[in-house]
Structure 1
Amino acid sequence: MFNSNDVLIALQGALNTSQLYMVYQPILNLHTQKICGFEALMRWNSPDMGMISPDIFITLLEKSGSIASVEEMVSNPPWDVAVRWPENISLSINFSALELSDPQLPERVSRNLATSGLSASRCEIEVTETAPIRDSLVASKNMSALKAMGVKLSLDDFGTGHANLDYLLKYPFDTLKIDKAFVAEIEPDTKSAKIVEGIIVLAHDFGIDVLAEGVESKEQLDRLIRIGCDKAQGYYISHPVPAENIPALLTQFNY
């Protein structure tokens, strides 16, 4: 078990070094059966502690009150990578719920998009549920500003964590991501299958797309297609890959 202080100290030394890097997991559009985007995921390979899960180090950063932005942590930010992709391929980036309460967030995102040249319409911010959304007035204002820029918003791990139906009333999400725990038990007539079907119907009534996480078999993928899910990602489709492997994946799925 890692000591929290040691991890935070080591993380400070890892910022903008090769220890911290991004990998990209494809998102499959279930209507077209083509890749429509990639989710950028951070990885940390510490020379002293080995691979450390983002669930550990991001949570520690949040608890310490010093959550760092993606562009401050990696030397090759995902915006700079995504601008080289075909125009119809979008980029999803995880932002902590705590970051949504940062008044500077819209300006930060706008600056990163302008610097990289990536169109706002190709960027989707995923709100991760490691913590509840604080200061809902600021968060709501930030989300409205991001939407006005053309950035899309998705709610990660819907059905678990702190997210609830109140979020759908308060915040302008474009996509709900169903937690992999429900997808794992999605066989017909199970409780999980009924929950997933209910979420899809509810989301579509709100004009919101649904993305299923953690798809690990053809049976799960086929079931999601039958019940009207819009998008999916998971190891059955592809593990997260380094940026240089993305052209081969696009060739495999899209052409």
Structure 2
Amino acid sequence: MFNSSEVLTALEKALNTSQLYMVYQPIFNLRTQHISGFEALMRWNSPQMGMISPDVFITLLEDSGNIIAIEDMVIHTPWDVATCWPDPLVLSVNISALEFCDPLLPQRVRKNLTACGLPPHRCQIEVTETSPLCDSQVAAKNMMELKAIGVKLALDDFGTGHANLNYLLKYPFDTLKIDKEFVTGIEPDTRSTKIVEGIISLAHNFGIEVLAEGVETQSELDRLLQIGCDKIQGFFISPPVLAEEIPTLLAQYNG
């Protein structure tokens, strides 16, 4: 096994090389039965260590206090890739809770959108819950600034980790993403179903959409549609794919 300092050293050498790259998982709208966007996910294929999960290397970066922006890590940024997608497909980008506490975040997002020409309403920022939002005042200000230019906000892994009801009081989210733990085994009258139904009802009362992650079967999709879920992601629709595979997926689902 490699220790954390070895992984961080290797990561520094991997920046802006083909070792680090993005893949894209479709977001499927249950109402329209079409793909409505893609979530950009980072992958690291290290020659020495093999494939390393972003859960590992992003957490190590955060723990070291050295968060690096996506555009400084990969050669082909998701912003550039998304510009060739047909309107109104939305790009969803993960930003860590630590980055949300950086006062310069809105400026950085604006700069990226302007540079690539992607309209702000076709961009969604997901708060990833590797750590709690540390400075809630700065985070709230950043979110309001992003919303003001038209960017959408999503809360990842709602119901697990640090994301809790308090976040709905403090922050202006457009979408809640339900963790796949609740989706597995979502049959009638199970605890999972009751929890998901409760989250959907709560979110809709706030005017917030709900996206269920980790959907792997037709029965899970049907059940989520039945209880009012808005969108899904998961291997049943498609695993994350390389940018060049996106047109095939769009031809399959969006005609």
Kindly report which structure 2 residues correspond to 1:1-255, keeping only aligned pairs within 5 A, or say none.
Answer: 1-255=1-255
- What SS does the corresponding residue of 1:193 show, helix, strand or coil? helix
CA deviation vs aligned residue, 1:48-96 (integer Å, no higher than 9, x gap): 0000000000000000000111001001000000010001100000000
Identity of aligned residues (%): 71
Aligned amino acid, residue 28 of structure 1? F
Secondary structure at 1:25's aligned position in 2? strand
Shift in Å, 1:185: 2.3
3-state secondary structure, aligned to 1:41: strand
- Post-superposition offset of 1:154: 0.2
What's the TM-score once normalised by structure 2's chain length?
0.99
The superposition leaves residues 197-242 of structure 1 with CA deviations (integer Å, 9 ceiling, x where unpaired) of: 0000000000000000000101100000000000000001001000
Distance in 2 (alpha carbons) for counterparts of 1:77 and 1:238: 21
The number of residues matched between the two structures is 255
Q: CA deviation at 1:2?
A: 2.6
Alignment partner of 2:185: what SS? Answer: coil
Mapped partners of 1:251, 1:35: distance in 2: 10
Scaled by the length of structure 1, the TM-score of the pair is 0.99
* RMSD of aligned alpha carbons: 0.5
How far 1:97 moved relative to its partner?
0.4
Name stretches of at least 5 consecutive residues in structure 2 with no aligned partner: none
The code of the aligned residue for 1:15 comes to: L
Q: Secondary structure at the match of 2:106?
A: helix
Query: Aligned partners of 1:188 and 1:21: how far apart in 2?
Result: 40
- CA positional deviation for 1:249: 0.4
DSSP-derived class of the 1:176 partner: strand
Task: State how far apart, in whole Å, the 2-side matches of 1:79 and 1:14 are.
Answer: 20
* CA deviation after TM superposition for structure 1 residue 107, in Å: 0.3
- SS of 2:22's partner is strand
